Every structure is written in C-alpha cells, then in structure tokens.
C-alpha cells in the first residue's frame, strides 16, 4: 500500500480545543462543501481516497473484532521557524501567515472525519483548528505524545549554527546528546495513535502532528526514510489487536522542497 503519493499504550495528558462556533460533531452534519471524495495527486490526475471498509454483517459472537480505524496523519502548516530554517523540536513556535493559508487550503480538499486530534504545540493546534472550523469537525482533541522530537541543544539553531557547533553531524546523520531518540519518539506516538484508534473503532481520524516524529514512526513500521512537507502526511491503519499498519502518503498542497530541519 505504501509508495504511492496522493495530494490532498498508555494514557497521556489531553484536553479539548474548541473548533469554533461552526464546529459540528457528527459526520452527517458535515457541510457539503467539505465532502470531497477525491484528492489531487502529483502530476494533476486524481486518485480516490482510501476506500471505506465494506459493511460487515452483524454477528452475535462476543469475540467479534471492531473494524480497523483509518488515521490520516499530516504535518502542520508552515511556522515562523520553518520559514527561517531553524530547528524547532519542542519550541512552541506559531504558524506564520503562509501556514494559516496552507491550513485553509488543505481544508478545501479534505473530506469529513469522525474526529480530529493534534499535538499540543501551537503550530499543530492552530492548523487543526483551522481545518476543523472549515470542515465542521470538532472539537479538536489534544495529546501531547503527538508532539515533535525534542531536538535538545539544536533548538532554535539554523543549519549553519548546527554545523559550526557540531561539525559533520548533519552529513553523518548524527544527533547530539539531549536529542530525543527517534525510536523513543516513534514509540510514544505509536502508543498515542493506538489509544486514539481504540476510542474511534471503525472510524476515520485526522491527526495533525510534526514531520520528524511522523518519519520516525513510519520508519519504525518499515517505511524508507521519508520527509514530509507542510500539510503532507500519510495514512495509517489501526487493526485492533495487531497494531498500526502503513498506508499511502498524501500531500494536501502542491509539493515543495522539504528541509531535514525539524
């Protein structure tokens, strides 16, 4: 399932962020303008979104398993430090104006979702709020385990400053002491997504997160090394009882070059 590019468990702290006065809570209440059955693909043609699972006949056995939950995980819109080329990590950097416009544009190609979740960092939360407001999904729910890798002493630095302080590290894909390991980041995000899926069995969920941790989780699940542009992402499928499985990559906006700075 992976390889194609489309346009388009333990408890942790969480709370709710209101999606705005127009926020709606059920799929049948979604505004018609936001029900888009296809998303554009790189090259200009179109592909269907992940098909809905076929109806399953009702069974009386208590051993019946819930249907898989499909999760679209996307990176937040452009932040002020994305534009400046600075490592962010856990720094709570806001979206810039372009990032807000990107979130609004992404909402135009997203269909209805049963729920929307986000990292607690402002660049992700505001992206989720804008999409929720325009698509009538909400409230936005928060899980801190969806936040970006902690980049330790590289937080706030640009590429030249990192190279000056840690010569050769970027080229050699090395990370300094205090930089959260990608395995640890993938484990916490995976636990969060499994828990979210359990709360929405058989549903379709949108999650707004961060590029570094998204790549870490997909590598953990067997994907090659990947970078995600702002509002790029990928599907994951949670089969209850057997964990997360890779789905197709998506890009909600026209593709642009992607930096390796988190």
The mean pLDDT values, 10 residues at a time, for the chain of 262 residues are 37 38 34 35 36 40 74 98 96 98 96 96 98 94 98 97 97 96 97 96 97 97 94 95 93 80 68
The CATH number covering residue 102 comes to 3.40.50.1240
Would strands 115-118 and 204-209 be described as parallel, antiparallel, or unpaired? parallel
Per-residue pLDDT at 18: 35
Note whether residue 217 is domain-resident.
yes
Note whether residue 175 is domain-resident.
no
Note whether residue 144 is domain-resident.
yes
- pLDDT tens-place string over residues 84-134: 999 999 999 999 999 999 999 999 999 899 999 999 999 999 999 999 999
Note whether residue 257 is domain-resident.
no
Per-residue pLDDT at 254: 87
Per-residue pLDDT at 6: 38
Per-residue pLDDT at 138: 86
- pLDDT tens-place string over residues 74-87: 999 999 999 999 99
Note whether residue 58 is domain-resident.
no
Active-site residue, selected from the candidate residues 76, 90, 200, 210:
76
Q: State how far the alpha carbon of 82 is from the alpha carbons of 96, 99, 136, 156, in Å.
A: 9, 9, 28, 11
144 labelled catalytic: no
Note whether residue 85 is domain-resident.
yes
Per-residue pLDDT at 4: 38
Domain residues for 39? 5-49+64-150+181-251
76 labelled catalytic: yes
Per-residue pLDDT at 45: 37
Note whether residue 171 is domain-resident.
no
Per-residue pLDDT at 60: 39
Which sign, positive or negative, has the C-alpha torsion 41, 46, 47, 52? positive
Q: How many domains does the chain have?
A: 1
Note whether residue 170 is domain-resident.
no
Number of Cβ within a 10 Å radius of residue 252 = 27
Active-site residue, selected from the candidate residues 148, 155, 180, 204:
148
């Amino acid at each position: 399932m992976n390889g194609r590019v489309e346009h388009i468990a333990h408890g942790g702290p969480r709370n709710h962020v209101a999606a705005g006065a127009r926020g709606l809570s059920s799929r049948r209440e979604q505004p018609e303008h936001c029900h888009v059955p296809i998303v554009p693909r790189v090259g200009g043609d179109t592909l269907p979104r992940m098909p809905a699972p076929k109806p399953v006949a009702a069974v009386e056995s208590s051993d019946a398993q819930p249907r898989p939950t499909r999760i679209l995980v996307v990176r937040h819109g452009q932040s002020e430090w994305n534009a400046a080329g600075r490592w962010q990590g856990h720094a709570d950097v806001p979206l810039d104006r372009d990032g807000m416009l990107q979130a609004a544009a992404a909402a135009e190609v997203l269909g209805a979702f049963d729920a929307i979740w986000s990292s607690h960092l402002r660049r992700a939360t505001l992206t989720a709020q804008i999409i929720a407001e325009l698509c009538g999904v909400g409230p936005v729910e928060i899980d801190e385990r969806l936040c970006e890798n902690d980049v330790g002493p590289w937080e706030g630095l640009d590429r030249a400053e990192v190279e000056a302080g840690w010569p050769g590290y970027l080229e050699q894909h090395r990370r300094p002491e205090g930089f959260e390991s990608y395995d640890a980041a993938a484990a916490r995000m995976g636990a969060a997504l499994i828990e979210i899926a359990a709360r929405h069995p058989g549903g379709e969920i949108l999650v707004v997160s961060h590029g570094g941790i998204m790549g870490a989780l997909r590598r953990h699940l067997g994907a090659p090394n990947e970078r995600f542009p702002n509002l790029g992402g990928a599907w994951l499928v949670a089969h209850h009882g057997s964990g997360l499985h890779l789905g197709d990559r998506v890009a909600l906006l026209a593709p642009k070059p992607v930096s390796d700075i988190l």
